[in-house]
Homo-oligomer: A and B are copies of this chain.
């Protein structure tokens, strides 16, 4: 008999507010959610008071249905426990919340072929934007069906932005790896290093290449060249670092500093080099790339010289770009070079070298 509400346990509806304020539902709606503010102050105050009084909260689903879109942005990550994704998520979350959007988090849990299914599933929600964070371009492997999904999504819902490796028709926010490599080169030159070796993680990953390219350009600014023979190609992991270090030792090379395109490579290399009795940085200095932590006091990780990409900002920029096409050209902050004990100052030259 009594009107049935779908709101759980008598949560007040807009109509309740309107009644309490003695205005029409339209007016209440305009005050509480509408954009074009064209309500007399007197009414406005009454509505606000009534809403507060009855404890009204907008029913997002109803609003979404009436408006035709849901104020949410979906973020697909690989594994949120990975700092790369966590930092992106952090920034994305902050920006979404700043804009009054809800953030839906989805995870492929490492299985990137799941991206397609996730996106598929996502579409039910009609979020306004979709941000895909990825370390490498898996679109090809995941099949063009993912691309179809993305394009479908863009047609029917909002925009898609990829953070990390770009993949053609979709907008991407790339990490400033070139700049980071260049900055690292500059910093090392500044410290007095002139003789470099690079452990490159993967020739086919754009980020890795960019870091190397940037590094080379940075060196050339200081008039230093990096011959190809000084670049050890390996894999972007600690195991890769061990392998590259092994090759390096076999070559009887001696550089002043080894620059790795990933921190993990550096850690592996350090392990291998120390295992061979080398002192670091005494016998050879070392630097990484991709600093993970926000340096809690007392953690040895601060010791490694490395570069920190502005991942939080990338997440935020991705959300902005996805939600607001006009904002797509926000510049990213420059990567931050962290100088640790692994690359001590070599200047002035008369100071003792090769000594811890």
Residue numbers of A with Cβ under 8 A of B are: 6-11, 55, 57-62, 64-70, 72, 79-81, 83, 86-87, 89-90, 93-94, 97, 102-107, 109, 120, 123-126, 152, 155-157, 237-239, 241-242, 264, 267-268, 270-271, 294, 296-300
**A79 contacts B70, CB within 8 Å?**
no
A267-B300 contact, Cβ under 8 Å, with A61-B64, A65-B61: yes
**A61 contacts B126, CB within 8 Å?**
yes
Return A261 CB to nearest CB of chain B, in Å. Answer: 15
A241-B298 contact, Cβ under 8 Å, with A60-B126, A70-B61: yes
By a CB distance below 8 angstroms, the chain B residues around A87 are 81
Q: Determine which of B58, B105, B237 lies in contact with A124 in the assembled complex, contact meaning CB atoms within 8 Å.
A: B58
A105-B123 contact, Cβ under 8 Å, with A65-B61, A156-B7, A239-B298: no
By a CB distance below 8 angstroms, the chain B residues around A69 are 8
Q: Determine which of B79, B264, B294 lies in contact with A81 in the assembled complex, contact meaning CB atoms within 8 Å.
A: B294
**B267 contacts A68, CB within 8 Å?**
no
Return A316 CB to nearest CB of chain B, in Å. Answer: 12
Further pairs besides A61-B126, A264-B296, A267-B299: 5, Cβ < 8 Å:
A9-B155, A11-B126, A59-B65, A90-B109, A94-B107
Can you list 16 A-B pairs with a CB-CB distance of less than 8 A?
A: A7-B68, A8-B69, A55-B152, A59-B126, A61-B62, A61-B126, A81-B86, A90-B107, A104-B104, A105-B105, A238-B296, A238-B297, A264-B296, A264-B299, A267-B300, A271-B298
Chain B residue at smallest Cβ distance from A271: B298
By a CB distance below 8 angstroms, the chain B residues around A89 are 80, 105
**B126 contacts A8, CB within 8 Å?**
yes
Return A148 CB to nearest CB of chain B, in Å. Answer: 10
By a CB distance below 8 angstroms, the chain B residues around A9 are 155-156
By a CB distance below 8 angstroms, the chain B residues around A67 are 6
**A86 contacts B80, CB within 8 Å?**
yes
By a CB distance below 8 angstroms, the chain B residues around A55 are 152
A144 to B68, CA, bound (A): 37
A107 to B91, CA, bound (A): 10
**B125 contacts A60, CB within 8 Å?**
yes
Q: Determine which of B79, B104, B155 lies in contact with A90 in the assembled complex, contact meaning CB atoms within 8 Å.
A: B79
